[in-house]
């Protein structure tokens, strides 16, 4: 007996889920597309078994429905599905980064014979779209499930069992607790990064040396400020009450630094850094999360014609995938610094060994 999985929103997340399920015995993956060319692309790229432009056809007889659309569109899709003759026992889930509102919507709709279980795979990528989809995206990442009250345990266990194909670690949370935690570790950092970049931008409008000297480290620590504005508008408004509380707490943290500086409290500043260092050192390293990690190497390179191409070729010949290349400094009198970025840690480690073997000075 075949299990049908319908995926609405076959992009990075939806496409990666599809690739985790596709080809597994007893599973058929159907993708919903808005345009004919997208439907053809999904099938030709081998992401789904079938693609359709019809919401009704995609949902018909589906055992599982994954809503992989932006947060601002989730409730609309759920309302649309509630009007269709869904298969009894069908499980609907989503991948949004906020959970309380969609859980409340599902409870209010109370679709007969259908179970909604919120989901949030805490993995991402610097790239987007189905072209970036990978069956390895969720491996070793946390995948949070947030079943509302009243969902049968067998339905939760069925979805959890299906998601084992992602090789993610499943975590069960209440929707409200999820939003509090993710608000603090993901949503708040995005706000801070955007505010910091905009603050420096305002200074730069008066003195362009700010942007000149902000290259390198400043770009790195604020890279999440480049996230999609529409997606983050919807996420922050959806998690509005949580974010307001978190921002008030953040204001208190900033105020404490203002007070320490005003009073020249060097001991207090040291203690704040010690506390932060201690907690940060306990955080798991190299684990996938919502803010995609980058794996970087820095190497000294002489200012010789073709050096960049030669290094890229050496890596390519060994099947090592580069994500990005940047020359941080290159002058006639000093070696240049080349930063090589990789999406996978194992690619970074292989590159490090290869470059060291070829007598390059490598810094991690």
For residue 300, the domain's CATH number is 3.30.2130.10
159 and 32 in a common domain: yes
Q: Is the pLDDT of residue 326 over 80?
A: no
162 and 257 in a common domain: no
232 and 323 in a common domain: no
pTM for this prediction = 0.78
The model's confidence at residue 324, banded by pLDDT at 50, 70 and 90, is confident
* pLDDT at position 216: 63
* pLDDT at position 235: 95
* pLDDT at position 334: 45
* pLDDT at position 215: 67
* pLDDT at position 84: 96
Q: Is the pLDDT of residue 140 over 70?
A: yes
In a domain, 72, yes or no: yes
In a domain, 109, yes or no: yes
In a domain, 287, yes or no: no
333 and 219 in a common domain: no
Chosen domain end from 173, 202, 226: 173
The model's confidence at residue 213, banded by pLDDT at 50, 70 and 90, is confident
Q: Is the pLDDT of residue 110 over 80?
A: yes
What would the pLDDT profile of 329-345 be if each residue is shown by its tens digit? Answer: 544 444 567 778 887 77
Q: Is the pLDDT of residue 33 over 80?
A: yes
221 and 157 in a common domain: no
217 and 304 in a common domain: no
Q: Is the pLDDT of residue 360 over 90?
A: no
111 and 19 in a common domain: yes
164 and 208 in a common domain: no
Q: Is the pLDDT of residue 107 over 50?
A: yes
In a domain, 269, yes or no: yes
169 bridge partner residues: 142
In a domain, 288, yes or no: no
Chosen domain end from 173, 204, 233: 173
169 and 76 in a common domain: yes
How many angstroms separate the Cα of 285 from the Cα of each of 147, 222, 255, 289, 342?
Answer: 29, 19, 30, 10, 16
What would the pLDDT profile of 123-137 be if each residue is shown by its tens digit? Answer: 876 667 888 888 888
* pLDDT at position 158: 97
226 and 303 in a common domain: no
How many structural domains compose the chain? Answer: 3
142 and 10 in a common domain: yes
User: Domain with 196 in it: what CATH number?
Assistant: 1.10.3660.10
Residues 6 or more apart whose CB falls under 8 angstroms from that of 44 comprise none
CA–CA separation, 168 and 137 (whole Å): 9
* pLDDT at position 330: 44
Domain interval for residue 140: 3-173
Mean of pLDDT values over 297-325: 80
In a domain, 290, yes or no: no
The model's confidence at residue 96, banded by pLDDT at 50, 70 and 90, is very high
Chosen domain end from 119, 149, 173: 173
Backbone angles phi, psi at 184, to 5 degrees: -75, -40
277 and 199 in a common domain: yes
CA–CA separation, 139 and 137 (whole Å): 6
Look up tokens 């060097």; give the residue.
266
The model's confidence at residue 153, banded by pLDDT at 50, 70 and 90, is very high
Look up tokens 């209010």; give the residue.
108
Q: Is the pLDDT of residue 323 over 80?
A: no
Instruction: Please tell me what DSSP assigns to residue 131.
Output: G
Mean pLDDT for the chain overall: 89
């Amino acid at each position: 007996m075949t299990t049908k999985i319908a995926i609405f929103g076959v992009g990075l997340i939806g496409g990666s889920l599809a690739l985790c399920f596709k080809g597994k015995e007893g599973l058929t993956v159907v993708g919903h597309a808005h345009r004919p060319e997208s439907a053809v692309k999904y099938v030709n790229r081998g992401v789904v078994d079938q693609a359709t432009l019809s919401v009704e056809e995609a949902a018909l007889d589906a055992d599982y429905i994954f809503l992989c659309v932006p947060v601002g569109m989730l409730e609309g899709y759920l309302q649309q599905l509630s009007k269709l003759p869904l298969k009894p026992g069908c499980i609907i889930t989503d991948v949004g980064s906020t959970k309380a509102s969609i859980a409340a919507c599902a409870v209010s709709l109370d679709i007969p014979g259908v179970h909604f279980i919120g989901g949030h795979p805490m993995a991402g990528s610097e790239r987007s779209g189905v072209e970036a989809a990978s069956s390895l995206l969720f491996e070793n990442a946390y995948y949070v499930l947030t079943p509302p009250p009243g969902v049968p345990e067998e339905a939760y266990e069925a979805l959890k069992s299906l998601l084992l194909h992602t090789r993610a670690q499943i975590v069960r949370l209440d929707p409200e607790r999820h939003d509090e935690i993710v608000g603090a570790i993901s949503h708040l950092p995005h706000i801070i990064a955007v505010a910091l970049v905009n603050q420096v931008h305002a200074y730069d409008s008066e003195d362009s040396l700010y942007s000149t000297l902000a290259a390198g480290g400043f770009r790195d620590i604020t890279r999440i400020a480049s996230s999609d504005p529409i997606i983050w508008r919807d996420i922050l408004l959806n998690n509005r009450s949580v974010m307001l509380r978190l921002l008030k707490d953040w204001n208190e943290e900033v105020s404490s630094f203002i007070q320490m500086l005003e009073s020249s409290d060097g001991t207090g500043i040291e203690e704040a850094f010690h506390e932060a260092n201690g907690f940060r050192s306990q955080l798991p390293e190299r684990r996938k999360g919502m803010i995609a990690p980058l794996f970087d190497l820095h190497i000294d390179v002489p200012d010789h014609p073709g050096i960049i191409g030669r290094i890229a070729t050496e890596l390519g010949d060994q099947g090592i995938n580069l994500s990005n290349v940047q020359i941080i400094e290159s002058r006639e009198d000093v070696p240049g610094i080349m930063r090589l970025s990789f999406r996978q840690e194992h690619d970074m480690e292989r590159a490090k060994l290869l470059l060291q073997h070829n007598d390059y000075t490598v810094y991690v």
